[in-house]
Amino acid sequence: MSPEAVLSALDPQAQKIVAKYDQKRAATLTLLHLAQDKIGHVTPEIEAWVSKWTEVPVVHVHSVVTFYSMYHQAPVGRTHIRFCTGTSCMLMGAAEKLDCLKKKLGIENGQTTPDGRVSLEEAECLCACEGAPMMQVGDDYHLDLTEKKIDEILGKLK
Amino acid sequence: MTEPILSRNFQTPDAWKMAVAEKRGAYETARNVLATMKPEDVTNAVLAANLRGLGGAGFPTGKKWQFLPKDGKKPVYLVVNADEGEPGTFKDRYILERDPHLMIEGIILAAFAIGSKKAYVYIRGEYVEPFRRLQSAVDEAYAKGYLGKGIFGTALELDLVVHRGAGAYICGEETALLNSLEGGKGYPRLKPPFPAIVGLFGCPTIINNVETLACVPFIMKNGAAWFAGLGSAGNGGTHLFSISGHVEKPGVYELPMGTNLKDMIYTHAGGVRGGRALKAVIPGGISAKILTAAEIDVKMDYDSLRNAGTMLGSAGVMVMDDTTCMVTALLWAAKFFAHESCGQCSPCREGTGWAYKIVKRIHKGEATIADLDSLLKIARNMEGRTICVFADAAAWPIQSYITKFRAEFEEYIRSKGHGIRRGVSSYTPQGSAPAVSTLESSGARRLVKGK
Amino acid sequence: MANITIDGKALTVKDGITIIEAIDQAQIGLPRYCYHPGLSIAGNCRICQVEVEKMPRTVIACNTRVAEGMVIHTKTEKAKESQQVVLEFLLANHPLDCPVCDQAGECKLQDYYMDYGLYDPKFNDVKVKKEKKAVSVGPTIMLDQERCILCTRCVRFGDEVTKTHDFGVFNRGDHSELDIYPGKELNNKYSGNVADICPVGALTDKDFRFKMRVWYLGSQDSVCPGCSRGCNIQIHYEKSRPYHLKTERVMRLKPRENQDVNKWWMCDEGRYGYKPIDKNRLQKIRISRSTNGSDPSWLMALEKTATVLRAAKPGAWGVLASPQSTNEELHLVKKIFKDLLKIEQVAFFAPGQEGFEDDFLLKKDKNPNSAGAAEILKVPGGGDLTPVVEAAKAGKLEGLFIFSHDLAKIYGAETLAAVRKAVKTVVYEGPNENPTAEAADVLLPSSSYAEKDGTFTNFEGRVQRIRRAVDPLGVSRPTWQILADLGALLGAPWNYTRAEHVFNDLAKENAAFKDMNYKAVGSSGLLWSRK
């Protein structure tokens, strides 16, 4: 499906979302999440689509996209990993686990594996410090990371 | 303390589902209050209970509610700050994921008190599973008639929208949160005006933290005096303390306000891992000034910690043992602030980035002692000169780490870092994770969501 | 009203204004970047720090309201330290490329460094690199992201004034950068204003870039002649090297604040409309098309004109006066042609020449003084030129005196040719070349608006002064002077040496201008007294 077709298919949902808010512009973040989830990253088409629904000038939709770390301006892997680099994770050995993960994937922060499978982002505290070191794989939190656990998690990825 | 309050359902399987929650008494208080009491009764109870904002600022909640204009021409909004992001803090996630109905009940009571017909919960974007559970709880509450029109069969109405953030720590600042909720960047707003007067969509708005609202049903059920009596003077109730770092049993602990930090670490959290010596503790999330091992005999409440030169903040207790390198700790903290500064005010935008660059140089062994003083100067110059307190929060770790561990910093610089470049220590954890197997009677246990 | 003290000066100011407004009213200097009185308060640059007694920390003057009894200090050590450290932060990642920056000389980073900074720079680290260095963002403006201090004035200008939403600040922290939307361009009718309000060298005006260092510029207050709004402007001209047939003297126009007319702004059409001051100017006096040989003098040309006018049959001439002329000049047109020579065929309004209009500044009437022309000449039918031109074409006129109008542009080349053929004597008076000037028998080169004094009346009846910024080019003379001399030759009882004298007589004779004089009109203008 073309991006335009994907977005027009989302129109009914967008209409419902916009209706939940007291002002249209408040739907900006939600619509960006919705469209990014479908397309993978925020394209100019998505920005225009969000601008249309929210009546927020497209330049400001773009500044929102660039402000928040969860919006991707370029394609990411099929699975996006956020590795927590908060202080508690640091205390519990995040640096070594992060190095280990990078080695296994062969990529650095902000990169995607050549096969497009996994992308890696060093994230700020994901607030699961009781299970430090930890990372978020797709939507899910994985706590108490060890090298073995990282292997298992990566092994299950498509 | 014998009974867990806020955390009473944390270990109950499926307590996030309506059927289970209701069996355990969810919504009884709200139903009862809405049928029999007046809005001001709720505000007065919250005031008398000494409930303070548990998101970090510690402002008396009832007083905040009273700031709303009395003439009431515009709609009043209730906004729930579920943008948990303060490093070292994870307590709100437990409520959102394990007992969302408790918070929804708190929202119903608060909305009733302040006369709001529309509430928004702003939940951190990365909290996907908590969002799903909360949304499902909200849907169930609508289905039951606890939200929407005619709640609990009264003439009252309340709409609740769950709104996801998108990855920006600053949105935990309440006016940045409002801008973000309105569809913009998370830039904090100039104050005055304060949100109680000009808030969401230009209307009077009350912004409360998840845990703060979760306290309200208990205050209404058991009475303000009971709640106030749980804590210390002026700091009512219990608090969910997030304890992490080098302790044997990291987790969320529900303890009375004013619990001694030393007890918290050594009694509740099982002491420093492997029996090692304590080096330092951050008592209230990354922004709080660090305490040395000698300074931990302190009550954990807003006023006591302020008197100790730091703050309770979000009650995220991060424990550091003697293997911790303070330069590395400051490096990760400085990185956090440089990465999360919204960039609006020049002192913070430029200062956080500048400080991070200097700390990086120190960490790489490429700095001089004079750089420490430059750092302190940057920290001092950022402080108090910006729209929100983020710059102050960024200054405090710099100031407190360097001041309290100056000798270590100087030694590190002189020795060009002992070859330590990253990581924290030479300490290798024994086993894969801190061993925790038993539940604290007073508190919650860790949520481990593995796959 | 609130009684406050600023730097020891007791002031009574309006309740609820901000400290910076009070400071500006009292004309006390205070640095500012993000604050602009025409835009919403952003409070992000943080440099306008002042000390307020009984407040623990310095506060920003732009977002702190005055209160009764407030004691404010802008120059105490505490206030100055705050201003200085903020400046140091702003300069931390600034490239300091002043030698190659066109803003040098009017850069607020430079100015405030000298006034409030003068610290010993401590920044030893690598500055943040930004991608866009001297990049065109549209037809008029260049962007340099590294110089930008993110004050967001231009963002707010686009959001609040033009509502074209051009700029945004992308990313966050010290990677924040100013830009327009990828693939779009800054192209609105007021784009030039962003260069004016940019306090640093981030947005510069392509038209002016590298033309001249600003310290070589002189400035004169004037009024834009581009439409009937009459935006208040400053004419910036080269002052260092007097003009001797160089290509350009006027370097740029800048808007001048007038709350009743244009606030702080002007349109691009007006801003970049100054070129005719130095281009395509009529440089020679001409008496007859067939004349070759040496140039005639003004006396010869005016005597020739006076002679033919005197010899004419009553009512046999037509006059096409100009709404580009000043009130003074139009008054002399009335005195000479209507009152003295009893010519009835007088008009001024060129039909079909309307341009773009919006609900902000731009007016469709692209003349600065149509209202003045209508009021002073009091001609029937709205002053439309067409009946006079038709009469000329039909051979009913023996002479035509044309001010500035180009008949070829208004009616087409055939009409000009027909008029030329049917009318014996055509006198053309104006500053710039055009086919009508080319076709005239007598050519009187006049000065541009930048070369003379006078007044225009804008669309709402506001009389505003223009002032001489540069000398009349070549032999050209201000129209009022040409007419004063012509009138004297025709026996008018006057001896005007300054435009002001003409205005004083106009004020005596025309009720709309009653009690006005140059001093009273001042720099912000005066509204006509309505009958």
Secondary structure of C8-60 as H, E, C letters = CEEEEECCCCEHHHHHHHCCCCCCCCCCCCCCCCCCCCCCCEEEECCCCCCEE
Q: Is the predicted pLDDT of residue B442 greater than 60, yes or no?
A: no
Q: Are B57 and A57 in contact (CB under 8 A)?
A: no
C-alpha span between B412 and B410 (Å, rounded):
5
Query: What pLDDT is recorded for position B239?
Result: 95
Interchain contact B243–A (C-beta under 8 A): yes
Residues of chain C above pLDDT 90, percent:
87
Total beta-carbon pairs less than 8 A apart between chain A and chain B: 196
Q: Average pLDDT in the B314-319 region?
A: 97
Q: Is the predicted pLDDT of residue C278 greater than 60, yes or no?
A: yes
Amino acid C152 reads T
Q: Average pLDDT in the C212-216 region?
A: 89
Q: Which secondary-structure segment (H or E) carries B260?
A: strand B259-260
What residues of B are in the C interface, CB distance below 8 Å?
168, 185, 190, 338-347, 349-354, 357-358, 361, 374, 377, 381-382, 384-387
**Arithmetic mean of pLDDT over chain B:** 91
Residues of chain B above pLDDT 90, percent:
88
Query: What pLDDT is recorded for position C293?
Result: 66
Closest-CA distance, A137 to chain B, in angstroms, reads 10
Q: Are C23 and C74 in contact (CB under 8 A)?
A: yes
Q: E strands along chain A, which residues? A: 79-84, 118-123, 135-137, 140-142
Closest C-alpha among C27, C41, C34, C42 to residue C199: C34
Q: Is the predicted pLDDT of residue B57 greater than 60, yes or no?
A: yes
Residues of C in contact with A57 (CB under 8 A): 159, 165
Query: What pLDDT is recorded for position C7?
Result: 97
C-alpha span between B313 and B228 (Å, rounded):
19
How would you label B74-103 residue by residue, b for 16+ Cβ within 10 Å and e otherwise?
A: eebbbbbbbbbbbbbbbbbbbbbbbbbbbb
Closest-CA distance, A97 to chain B, in angstroms, reads 10
Using pLDDT thresholds of 50, 70 and 90, give the confidence band for residue C122.
confident
C-alpha span between B258 and B300 (Å, rounded):
4
Q: Is the predicted pLDDT of residue B343 greater than 90, yes or no?
A: yes
CA separation, residue B448 to residues A98, A130, A131, B136 (Å)? 20, 9, 7, 21
Task: Give the residue on A whose Cα is nearest the Cα of C181.
Answer: A59
| More reliable by pLDDT, B17 or B448 | B17
Q: What is the 8-class DSSP label of residue B276?
A: P
C-alpha span between B333 and C20 (Å, rounded):
36
Query: What pLDDT is recorded for position C289?
Result: 55
Q: Which two tokens stand for residue B325?
A: 């390198």
C-alpha span between A65 and B139 (Å, rounded):
29
Could you read off the pLDDT of C440-454 as tens digits, one per residue?
Answer: 999 999 999 999 999
**Which of B358, B385, B387 is opposite residue C125, by nearest beta carbon?**
B358
Could you read off the pLDDT of C28-58 as tens digits, one per residue?
Answer: 999 999 999 999 999 999 999 999 999 999 9
* Chain centre to alpha carbon of residue C269: 11
Query: What pLDDT is recorded for position B450?
Result: 30
Using pLDDT thresholds of 50, 70 and 90, give the confidence band for residue B135.
very high
Q: Are B243 and B442 in contact (CB under 8 A)?
A: no
Starting at the edge strand found earlier in the chain, the sheet holding B291-292 runs: B251-256, B238-245, B316-321, B278-282, B291-292
Q: Are C153 and C178 in contact (CB under 8 A)?
A: no
Pairing type for strands B291-292 and C217-223 reads unpaired
C-alpha span between B31 and C89 (Å, rounded):
55
Closest C-alpha among C292, C291, C242, C225 to residue C467: C225
Query: What pLDDT is recorded for position C116?
Result: 82
Closest-CA distance, A36 to chain C, in angstroms, reads 18
Q: Is the predicted pLDDT of residue B437 greater than 80, yes or no?
A: no
Could you read off the pLDDT of C419-441 as tens digits, one per residue?
Answer: 999 999 999 999 999 999 999 99
Could you read off the pLDDT of B225-265 as tens digits, one per residue?
Answer: 999 999 888 888 999 999 999 999 999 999 999 999 999 99
| More reliable by pLDDT, C369 or B427 | C369
Task: Give the residue on C whose Cα is nearest the Cα of B339.
Answer: C173
Residues of A in contact with C159 (CB under 8 A): 57
Amino acid C451 reads E
Query: What pLDDT is recorded for position C288?
Result: 78
Mean pLDDT, 10 residues at a time, over chain A (158 residues)?
92 98 98 97 97 98 98 96 97 96 96 96 97 97 97 92
Q: Which two tokens stand for residue A16?
A: 């419902």
Calculate the CA dihedral of residues B258, B260, B261, B267 and round it to 10 degrees: -130
SS3 for A158? coil
Q: CB-based burial of residue B36 (10 Å sphere; 0-12 exposed, 13-18 middle, 19+ buried)?
A: exposed
Among C34, C174, C176, pick the best mutation site for testing chain B contact (most B Cβ within 10 A): C174
Q: Which two tokens stand for residue B126?
A: 């990365």
Task: Give the residue on A whose Cα is nearest the Cα of C174.
Answer: A67
Residues 6+ apart with CB under 8 A from B384: B391, B392, C57
Task: Give the residue on B whose Cα is nearest the Cα of C50.
Answer: B385
Could you read off the pLDDT of C157-200 as tens digits, one per residue?
Answer: 999 999 999 999 999 999 999 999 999 999 999 999 999 999 99
Query: What pLDDT is recorded for position B151?
Result: 96
- Taking each continuous run of H as one helix and of E as one strand, the counts in chain C are 16, 21
Q: Which two tokens stand for residue C60?
A: 């920003």
Task: Give the residue on A whose Cα is nearest the Cα of B328.
Answer: A90
Least confident of B288-297, B298-307, C75-84, C208-217: C208-217
Q: CB-based burial of residue C491 (10 Å sphere; 0-12 exposed, 13-18 middle, 19+ buried)?
A: exposed
Query: What pLDDT is recorded for position C246?
Result: 63
Q: Which chains touch A (3 or more CB pairs under 8 A)?
A: B, C
Q: Average pLDDT in the B51-76 region?
A: 93
Q: Average pLDDT in the C372-392 region?
A: 95
Closest C-alpha among C63, C58, C65, C73 to residue C28: C73
Query: What pLDDT is recorded for position C294?
Result: 76
Q: E strands along C322-411, which residues? A: 345-347, 399-403
Amino acid C239 reads K
Interchain contact C94–B (C-beta under 8 A): no
Q: Are C363 and C227 in contact (CB under 8 A)?
A: yes
Q: Are C277 and C246 in contact (CB under 8 A)?
A: no
**Which of C159, C170, C181 is opposite residue A58, by nearest beta carbon?**
C181
Using pLDDT thresholds of 50, 70 and 90, give the confidence band for residue C212.
confident
Least confident of B169-173, C92-96, C358-362: C92-96
Q: Average pLDDT in the B353-380 region?
A: 96
Q: Are C342 and C376 in contact (CB under 8 A)?
A: no
C-alpha span between B56 and B208 (Å, rounded):
11
Q: Is the predicted pLDDT of residue B433 greater than 60, yes or no?
A: no
Residues 6+ apart with CB under 8 A from B68: B76, B114, B115, B196, B204, B206
User: Is the Cβ pair C182, A60 closer than 8 Å?
Assistant: no
Could you read off the pLDDT of C237-263 as tens digits, one per residue?
Answer: 998 765 544 678 999 999 999 999 999
Q: What is the 8-class DSSP label of residue B184?
A: S
Could you read off the pLDDT of B260-276 as tens digits, one per residue?
Answer: 999 999 999 999 999 99
Q: Is the predicted pLDDT of residue B431 greater than 80, yes or no?
A: no
Q: Average pLDDT in the C1-26 region?
A: 96
Query: What pLDDT is recorded for position C119?
Result: 77
Q: Are B355 and B379 in contact (CB under 8 A)?
A: yes
